[in-house]
Amino acid sequence: MAESEVKGDISADDWAAAMAEQTPVGGAADSGVDAAGAARAQVFPELHPDAGVNVAPERLELILDIPVQLTVELGRTKLAIRNLVQLAQGSIVELDRLAGEPLDVLVNGCLIAQGEVVVVNDKFGIRLTDVIAPEERVRRLQR
């Protein structure tokens, strides 16, 4: 079997051309920055907490359709497996929050706001009472 058949329709010349694209261009080798790294820096600028989160609307358009998981957390508790298997309909599980305390609103596991439960048209909802500042959200994401 020929080597080109093993790798599909990609010839050695195609591989050489692809590898040449990855090598430093011009004086970039002297500065320690390659062309691909410079291109990435232009496409994906670093987010620094001190720089704010002002993003051009056309750049924001790129991510607006990405789904995220929004979770509202009423409270937490730790249970031993012995107590977990004993739970049945009507069992009460004590949580670490007091009645009336705000609920946490998390997006993909990161706290973005706090709020309170509301009922709208027979469905539960949450009214946001405190939203974390955008700078603080970015700072928390970088941890």
> Residue holding tokens 């056309």?
58
The residue among 108 and 6 whose pLDDT is bigger is 108
Residue 94 CB partners (closer than 8 Å, separation 6+): 77
- Asked if residue 75 is part of any domain, the answer here is yes
Q: Residue 124 belongs to what H/E stretch?
A: strand 123-131
* Residue 134 scores a pLDDT above 60: yes
The residue among 58 and 97 whose pLDDT is bigger is 97
Structural domain harbouring 98: 69-143
Q: What does DSSP assign to residue 44?
A: S
Look up the pTM and report it.
0.54
Instruction: Supply the CATH number for residue 88's domain.
Output: 2.30.330.10
Q: What is the DSSP string of 60-90?
A: HGGGTT----EEEE-------HHHHTT--TT
- Asked if residue 28 is part of any domain, the answer here is no
pLDDT in tens, 19-78: 666 645 444 444 445 555 555 555 555 555 555 556 666 777 888 889 999 999 999 999
Residue 116 sits at φ, ψ, to 5 deg, of -130, 150
- The whole-angstrom separation of Cα 72 and Cα 75 is 9
Q: Which of 16-25, 40-49, 76-85, 124-133 has the lowest mean pLDDT?
A: 40-49
* Residue 128 scores a pLDDT above 90: yes
- The domain total for the chain is 1
- Asked if residue 99 is part of any domain, the answer here is yes
